[in-house]
Structure 1
Amino acid sequence: MIDIIPHGEHIVEFRLAAPPVNAMDVASLRALNGAFSDAAAAGRQGVILSGVPGIFSSGIDVIALLDGDAAAVRDYWTEVFTLAARMALAPMPVVAAIGGHCVAAGTLLALFSDYRIMARGDWGIGLNEVRAGVTLPDCFQLALRRAVGPLGAERMLVSGSLLDPARALALGLVDELAAPDEVVARARDKLLSLLALPRHAMLSTRAIARADLRDAFADVDALPVAAFVDAFLEPRTQAALRQVAGAIKRKLQGPRPDAGVARPAGAAAAIPA
């Protein structure tokens, strides 16, 4: 699920807390959607999105999805697209505090944030959906192109590669590196620096700068949820996902349940999307 942690009057932290790899089930997605809605209603001026030490998020809960029926799959992906829209349209800046591995849908959450701070260390970050037979729709690919440019996004998406923190910083996938125990504090400092600016000018400038992302998600009903779900349920995709699910189960049944978050290669096996 998620932990909601206030940082003073104006900033709130949403911490993903679903051990061992912070995979997001439908309850976590609903909780995040509700938390963003509540933060906007309460007039919060900044959000920190974080994980647990060593892992931000491994992405979707692929095992639960494969065990569910078509209706459950539709419900799940509706929550994912809705969360992306909430973040794209968020009235306040969001800073991702990435304390470790950040894979697939975890990377999408980071990309929809305004600013990304990642922990130094032996972590992996990226969108590796293609390795599990999943094709990201253009509205999600847009978020990556905004960060790393069209050619960088193409190479990352087509290969499904994960980057170490230094490479992610060099390409613009993350904006800053920090010591693992300082990531959340740096995220709070970043938000405080934004909130110290003239508020009307900061928010209106932010709205202009994020107009492409906002426009892509302005009409939630027009998002390609149905087409994505159909592709997700396609037999070839399901077969690839079952291979990934088998790898996850083997890791979780091993002598070290946290082995899947020990290095980028392990994170790549942990989650497809």
Structure 2
Amino acid sequence: MGITVEFHDDGCALIRMKNGQNRWNLTTLNQLNNALDEVERNRSASILVTTGEGKFYSNGLDLDWVNSIGRSSDAGRKFLADLHDTLWRIMHFPIPTVASINGHCFAAGAFLALCHDYRVMRSDRGWISWNETLISLRITDSSILQRKLNPDALREIIFAKRLTGPEAVRLRIVDEIEDISNLLSESKAFGFRALGNNVIKRTDLQNMKKDMIPRTIHESKL
């Protein structure tokens, strides 16, 4: 079923990830970037919301696929670099972005959510976690985490804690928790509140994001 884009009359562009656990491999990453291309081409879109379906927002890397091509191979290194480029693309996206976290959100999936301007998480079930420590992976570029999170949150990440919605709010990893019935509508509201009554040009917003959260170039091994 892949990744789909919906354009709502109110100006919301909604990207739905519908690949089961929404793990990241070459196919799903290309689908996400194609969806982002569609949103950028649609000048009527004023905010972007991303969400998953069922139990998962995103369960991180497709480790079976990554291991099959070899993490240190040319193809493996290129994929990880492309994934990192995509995270920064979302970080600097030219309209407000909101991650509507409907379920479990792990590792590279948690990075994806963190790169949005705002995060709204389901209140009653689902964890957010950077579980790299548990699966013997290293995060050699921690700049996204350090720019977005406070020391208390970083400490929990080091120990790969699985954080519930209320815990993630306390640590300021997510902005709000909502019942699943209100999750999408409140996620959209965050994006529209960010704009308020202002008319902000896309280029100006993107430049401000780049100025406030400049990219640091590192080789990524998420």
So what's the TM-score if we normalise by structure 2?
Answer: 0.87
Q: 1:80 and 1:202 mapped to 2: Cα distance? A: 23
Which residue of the partner structure matches residue 177 of structure 2?
Answer: 177
Which residue of the partner structure matches residue 79 of structure 2?
Answer: 76
2:218 to 216, 224, 239: 224
In structure 2, list runs of 5 or more residues that go unmatched: none
Q: Is 1:166 aligned to residue 160 of structure 2?
A: no
Q: Is the 8 A contact 1:30 1:79 kept in 2?
A: no
Q: Is 1:119 aligned to residue 113 of structure 2?
A: no
Q: Is the 8 A contact 1:101 1:123 kept in 2?
A: yes
Q: Is the 8 A contact 1:26 1:79 kept in 2?
A: no
Q: 1:142 and 1:197 mapped to 2: Cα distance? A: 32
Q: 1:108 and 1:182 mapped to 2: Cα distance? A: 23
What's the Cα RMSD here? 2.4
Q: 1:194 and 1:153 mapped to 2: Cα distance? A: 24
What CA deviation, in whole Å up to 9, does each residue of 1:172-219 have, x standing for no partner? 000011111221111122223334421239985785466342x115xx
Q: C-alpha displacement at 1:153, in angstroms? A: 4.1
Greater relative contact order (Cα 8 A, min sep 6): structure 1 or 2?
1
Residues 2 and 161 (structure 1), Cα distance of their counterparts in 2 relative to 1, 3 Å cut: same
Q: Is 1:186 aligned to residue 191 of structure 2?
A: no
Q: Is 1:17 aligned to residue 11 of structure 2?
A: no
Q: Is the 8 A contact 1:100 1:121 kept in 2?
A: no
Q: Secondary structure at the match of 2:15?
A: strand
Q: Is the 8 A contact 2:46 2:96 kept in 1?
A: yes
So what's the TM-score if we normalise by structure 1?
Answer: 0.72
Q: How many residues align?
A: 218
Aligned residue identity for 2:107: A
Which residue of the partner structure matches residue 108 of structure 2?
Answer: 105
Which residue of the partner structure matches residue 31 of structure 1?
Answer: 31
Aligned residue identity for 2:188: R
Q: C-alpha displacement at 1:54, in angstroms? A: 2.2
In structure 1, list runs of 5 or more residues that go unmatched: 218-222, 230-272
Query: Which structure is higher in helix share?
Result: 1
Residues 27 and 117 (structure 1), Cα distance of their counterparts in 2 relative to 1, 3 Å cut: same
Stretch of structure 1 that moved more, 184-193 or 166-175:
184-193
Aligned residue identity for 2:57: F
